[in-house]
A and B are shown apart, each in its own frame.
Chain A
Amino acid sequence: MKKIDKSKLEDLWGRLAAEQDLFLPVQQDSVVNFALWQEGSRVNLEAVNSLLPPKDLLFPQSEKIFSYKRREGELSFEEAPGSGPQVIFGIRPCDVRSIELLDPVFFKEPADTFYKNRREQTTLVSIGCLEPDTTCFCTAFGIQPLDAEGADVMLYDMGTAYLVSPRTEKGEKLAEEMGELLEEAAGAEEEGLQQQQEAAASAQEHGLDLDGVFEKLNDMFDHCIWEKFYRRCLACGTCTYLCPTCHCFDIQDDGSPEEGQRFRCWDSCMYEDYTHMGHGHNPRPGRRERVRNRFMHKLNYFPKDHDGVYHCVGCGRCVQKCPVNLDIMQVIEEIGKEGVGGEGHDR
């Protein structure tokens, strides 16, 4: 296996950034977010996951769809230009999986050309997590903190260097770009990796059990469990904006009758407006219905359509940042405690 010494990272980034857009976790105050790398960027590869998920780089918080012009009555549309190749460097395994969960949504026919175009030109360089955060529960979803199946290149932190393992064609191409910055790893380092992986495999017990949660929820739409959770919710949508798998968006216009643009921007099922119809009816009128929808979508609706795969990767962002501690792990535990068809089914 090859490795790259950490002292050579700046050189590497300079080289990669010359060829494509390079995004890295960058520190600003207490916040680490993915940002376009420039010389002097305060890169932080130690923070486990960024505050905002890197989904922003494939599905930006707001994105122009087209610009329009009306000249002498003639209305014309000009599609927003596509973007070029990019590398997301330092993405964590949970976030890599989250992109694999966005793919089927945006690729499903009719495919979303903006997402698809970006996705096809994106190379994911993932770094494994030696020390997951206290709120990480990715392993509950079968994600390995040290290994991201969907990464193009996997980096293993060996202290002073990263072992570099290209996984895909895009990954191989990137490794070529790294050129002489890569060195052959020593046998001891490869052994060290094996030890890390063994240690990680035995340390991954947080006791969150997802077995049967999806199936139980089939019968829990009217269950009193939602009563218990929704009332504290402030309907701020933080849990969905920060969630790497949430993909909901709104479409809006901005401009004058003569010219302007149409853009789309993140939206959230936690907002009243999201389902409020022009003539006043709202199928999810209260926080009860909306909180339920969020958890049902993550843990039941999405899995129903995607071979039982949950729409959560256990990144813990919503757990950390929900201002009222509406904790998805606790919700999962409570669901787990309920017997199918048992008490509480009619609220």
Chain B
Amino acid sequence: MTANPILPRRAVVEKILQDTPDTKRFFVTLKDGEPFNHKPLQCAMLSVPPVGEALFSITSSPTRPEYLEFAVKEVGTVTKHLHYEVQEGTEIGIRGPYGNGFPIDVIRGKDLLFIGGGIGLAPLRSLINYCFDTRKDYSKIQIIYGARTPEDLSFKEEIFENWPKEDARLNLTVDVESPGWEEFVGFVPTYLEHLAPTPEGVIAVTCGPPIMIRFVLQGLEKLGFQPEQIITTLELKMKCGVGKCGRCNIGEKYVCQDGPVFSLAELNGMIPEF
């Protein structure tokens, strides 16, 4: 008999870091020692009985297999439990990876433009680090990232220490003036408009809160990006992750299996219910 797809594997939370005031990072290893085999922008279901499970993007790149990394924002029961009950050394359950993941083939040899907002950097980070680790496969890389305040920026060691050393252009912004902040001030879509990247040969990948995504998509189209050049990820409520429990549907598509990564061209062909 094949393995039950909704049965978790045993795992250990090895390390926890406070990322932003409401987000923590969890470094997880599997107890069975087998690889997890994920692709950038795929997700995993983390289990913390008796509270339940919830789905999170795997924010670590498959090229850095030491840990599976997650950035978890506290919103409800499972996330609260992860924040306050789970400690370094706590055993949890994990299943996945879920989702179609990022279509790497589409971006080889291209210029890449990443646009992230808030915790939306979590899924992008997996792909960004993947690209840095296979840097020669891509041409120019630009990252635009913003959060409400400097404190709310995720993965500070990446954006302030590691990525500036990489061959990439990094543009940071926060929503409101803050003491000591010398970069751009304004919403991510505003910054995008200000930076006005040219669309030729570029693939744009964006993730963030729904409202940001909406304006970023509009902004990119205004800059001349074609729907095929724009890739985003969606978030819907998910339970099974395997296309059966029904709730993550957009029309006939189940986002847990057919998504969460879609090009704008694909989204335009789907019903507007997300």
Contacts and interface: CB of A to CB of B under 8 A. Distances in A.
A binds B: yes
Interface of A: 65-66, 68, 70, 73-77, 79, 82, 105-106, 108, 110-114, 117, 221, 247-257, 260, 262, 264, 267, 269, 274-279, 281, 283-284, 289, 293, 296-297, 300-302, 304-305
A73 B91 contact: yes
A305 B3 CA distance: 25
Size category of the binding interface on chain B: 35 or more
B93 interface: yes
B244 A106 contact: yes
A284 B250 CA distance: 10
Interface stretch (B6-14, B143-151, B163-171, B195-203): B6-14
Interface string B194-236: 0000000000000000100000000000000000000000011
A110 B49 CA distance: 23
B271 A112 contact: no
B91 A70 contact: yes
Contacts of B252: 300-302, 304-305
Contacts of B90: 73
A95 B91 CA distance: 44
A336 B95 CA distance: 44
Interface stretch (B50-58, B63-71, B105-113, B152-160): B50-58
The binding surface of chain B is classed by DSSP as loop
Contact of A65 (B7, B51, B235): B7
A240 B55 CA distance: 26
B273 interface: yes
Secondary structure call for the A interface: mixed
A248 B90 CA distance: 32
B243 interface: yes
B245 interface: yes
B54 A278 contact: yes
Contact of B52 (A221, A251, A257, A302): A251
Nearest to B250: A283
B2 interface: yes
B7 A260 contact: no
A320 B6 CA distance: 35
A249 B52 contact: no
A277 B235 contact: yes
Interface in B56-102: 73, 75-76, 78-79, 89-93
A302 B237 CA distance: 20
Given A251-B239, A278-B78, 14 more contacts: A70-B91, A76-B10, A79-B4, A105-B244, A111-B5, A112-B244, A221-B272, A251-B245, A267-B246, A269-B247, A278-B54, A293-B273, A296-B251, A300-B251
A244 to B, nearest CB: 15
Given A267-B247, A274-B247, A250 B49 contact: no
B249 interface: yes
A75 B239 contact: no
A276 B237 contact: yes
A75 B91 contact: yes
